[in-house]
Structure 1
Amino acid sequence: MSTSTSSRYRILTDEQWARVESLLPSNEGRKGHPFRDNRRIVEGLIYRARTGIPWRDLPRDAFGPWQTVWKRHRRYAAEGTWDSVLAQILAEADAVGEIDWTVSVDSTISRAHQHGTNTTRPDQPTGARSNHSKSGAEHCQEPEGHAVGRSRGGLSSKLHAAVDGEGMPLSIVLTGGQRNDGVVLAEVLVDIRVPRIGPGRPRTRPDAVIADKAYSNRVIRKMLSARGIRAVIPQKSDEQAARKRKGSTGGRPPAMDKTTYAGRNVVERHFNLAKQWRGIATRYEKLAITYRATAVLCAVVAWLRKLDAP
């Protein structure tokens, strides 16, 4: 990136880039030309995601050929690179007590642009699978229908997220826009995996899970209880009515900590900030793995800013 354009397009500080660069995959053992201009490529990925411009409109003088940026984006998504970077940053944050393990979960819908849906129809198999990452992460495998579903608002995708008590992302799962939130909760919780700095197993269990009424059912409450996770989820009105109709046999209502529940809005604030990136607010990506990789990259940038804050 030239000196004349760096101040205009650069998002990461030198300290943040040094942290990211040390976590990116090396060229050792790879075929083909070695990776060059890593910072320029990564800044190009961030710029394109923030602005939502077509790949071909990426400023060449600042980021080089758009094809190079796209190929790196596709490769990093298939290999789970940003998931690995985020995991390491989370490990560093947890080691210094920067993660609040009272977790809030929710989802947000992103309308799919016509340029992102001119592929296999959402209700048909894609016929192609991408390679697993070294860690075997399922997110590196292209799902059927490219995670585009038909909801009331048209073709859309849904990002399910778990955030800590301060609204910082811990887990990101992508589905079609028609998927029920409660059905995906188990997958969202499984995706929470924060390694330890030094010996020890990764932390995967929050202290509590805060969610709205969409997650209120007996199956979810039993699942959280079995894992030793405190559920902070209000009951639906029909659940309350059904319990009252049963009288004494209906049992006691589940415990509800209203003070803790008041902090659920942090997940909404997380989505508001993430959707300031236009490439997340609207899905322009044809592939689900590249769209989700964009959301994970946004999470990486958010954590870098938090850890660098005075």
Structure 2
Amino acid sequence: MDRYQVLTEKQWALLALLLPSSDGLRGRKFQNNRLVVEGMLYRLRTGLPWRDLPAYFGPWKTVWKRHRRYAGDGTWDRVLMALAAMADAGGNLDWAVSVDSTVVRVHQHGANAARVTQGDPPNYTNLLDEPADHGIGRSRGGLTSKVHLACDGDGRPLSVLVGPGQAGDSPMFGPLLEGICVPRIGGGATRTRPDEVRADKAYTSKANRELLRSKGIKAVIPEKSDQVANRKNKGSAGGRPPNFDAESYKGRNVVERAFNKAKQWRAVATRYDKLALTYRAGFLLAGIVEWLKLLGDMP
């Protein structure tokens, strides 16, 4: 396979079934769909500017516009959930879900769009709307974004959110779980509830535990040391410690490994995109490749 191709023939055949064949407006059919998608993957892998895409992929504007369209109309989200549904139908989706976040440095080329930082706080959970601050914040590392990820027990993505780098993890916990919507191919209600959720101490708030309890999901989240001390200081009034499955918690590292895999794509490891919408779409595309590696080459 040459340097311009990422997907195998079987992987592309599966992906092509899930992508729209026309623009949906004038009924105009997309041309060279595989070449365009491979152009998106090449840019994601190398991190080069869209304008510098090799001529092999055709006009760079075509590749960019298609990626922007798929990001804005939810195509990549639907593809991700369709692949997860196929894996679930075949018994290849582990419903012990792990959640975490990672900080990504924003390159200066991605930070020069006007940002609105006053007024109502941006809504980072409306996935098809661009937040006013573009999901860019300022922390010790400078201008940064934070990717919040929920993945299955094998480290394949199920839900992705992007926010500013200085924002906390816990407020995004509920919206991140709401993003898990895996259809059932054989019929029935869409599955939205994991068997259990593994998370580190950043997610140990009472609200998060109550959320999981209300949904009948097992919480595998350790307590912070100050929470343990406060509970013990209250004596019997402090109540019992929450259940914690230390053996299951050992599997939480799959989300760390998922981030490591995603950051092998240069345009994921560093944010060059001005829009949070298109940066998130690139992260989704990297996750789709992981699902295709599982499903695309199956007999």
TM-score by structure 1 length?
Answer: 0.91
Three-state SS of the structure 2 residue aligned to 1:304 is helix
- Per-residue deviation, residues 116-158 of structure 1 (Å, max 9, x unmatched): 01011362579xx9xxxxxxx9311111211111122111111
Does the Cα contact within 8 Å between 1:125 and 1:145 map onto a contact in 2? no
Match of 1:198 in 2: 186
**Separation of aligned partners in 1, 2:18 and 2:118:** 37
**Separation of aligned partners in 2, 1:115 and 1:8:** 25
Answer yes or no: is 1:40 the counterpart of 2:40: no
Does the Cα contact within 8 Å between 1:285 and 1:291 map onto a contact in 2? yes
- Per-residue deviation, residues 46-78 of structure 1 (Å, max 9, x unmatched): 010011011111111x20111111111111111
Instruction: List aligned pairs for 1:148-159, cutoff 5 A.
Output: 148-159=136-147
* Matched residue type, 1:203: R
**Separation of aligned partners in 2, 1:138 and 1:214:** 23
Match of 2:106 in 1: 112
Match of 2:168 in 1: 180
Instruction: List aligned pairs for 1:7-18, cutoff 5 A.
Output: 7-18=2-13
Match of 2:87 in 1: 93
Match of 1:22 in 2: 17
Match of 2:229 among 241, 264, 280: 241
**Separation of aligned partners in 2, 1:309 and 1:73:** 25
Answer yes or no: is 1:299 the counterpart of 2:293: no
Three-state SS of the structure 1 residue aligned to 2:230 is helix
Three-state SS of the structure 2 residue aligned to 1:146 is coil
- Per-residue deviation, residues 174-217 of structure 1 (Å, max 9, x unmatched): 11111110110001000000001032111000010000000011
Three-state SS of the structure 2 residue aligned to 1:202 is coil
TM superposition shift of 1:29: 4.3
Match of 1:250 among 229, 238, 248: 238
Distance 1:71 1:308, change over 3 A: closer
* Matched residue type, 1:16: Q
Three-state SS of the structure 1 residue aligned to 2:145 is strand
Instruction: List aligned pairs for 1:73-92, cutoff 5 A.
Output: 73-92=67-86
Does the Cα contact within 8 Å between 2:11 and 2:297 map onto a contact in 1? no
Does the Cα contact within 8 Å between 1:122 and 1:149 map onto a contact in 2? no
TM superposition shift of 1:306: 1.5
Distance 1:231 1:40, change over 3 A: same
**Separation of aligned partners in 1, 2:139 and 2:197:** 27
Does the Cα contact within 8 Å between 1:108 and 1:271 map onto a contact in 2? yes
Does the Cα contact within 8 Å between 2:98 and 2:255 map onto a contact in 1? yes
Three-state SS of the structure 2 residue aligned to 1:42 is helix
**Separation of aligned partners in 1, 2:102 and 2:27:** 39
Does the Cα contact within 8 Å between 1:110 and 1:156 map onto a contact in 2? yes
Distance 1:28 1:188, change over 3 A: closer
* Matched residue type, 1:51: T
The alignment's C-alpha RMSD in Å is: 1.8
TM superposition shift of 1:165: 1.0
Distance 1:121 1:143, change over 3 A: closer
Does the Cα contact within 8 Å between 2:149 and 2:161 map onto a contact in 1? yes
Equivalences, count: 295
Post-superposition, which runs of at least 4 consecutive aligned residues in structure 1 deviate over 6 A? none
**Separation of aligned partners in 2, 1:233 and 1:74:** 37
**Separation of aligned partners in 2, 1:117 and 1:302:** 29
Instruction: List aligned pairs for 1:252-291, cutoff 5 A.
Output: 252-291=240-279
* Matched residue type, 2:208: I
Identity, in percent, stands at 57
**Separation of aligned partners in 2, 1:295 and 1:168:** 12
Q: Show structure 2 runs of 5+ residues with no match.
A: none
Q: Show structure 1 runs of 5+ residues with no match.
A: 1-5, 130-136
92-101 vs 25-34, greater mean Cα deviation = 25-34
* Matched residue type, 2:78: S
Match of 1:214 among 172, 196, 202: 202
Distance 1:122 1:115, change over 3 A: farther
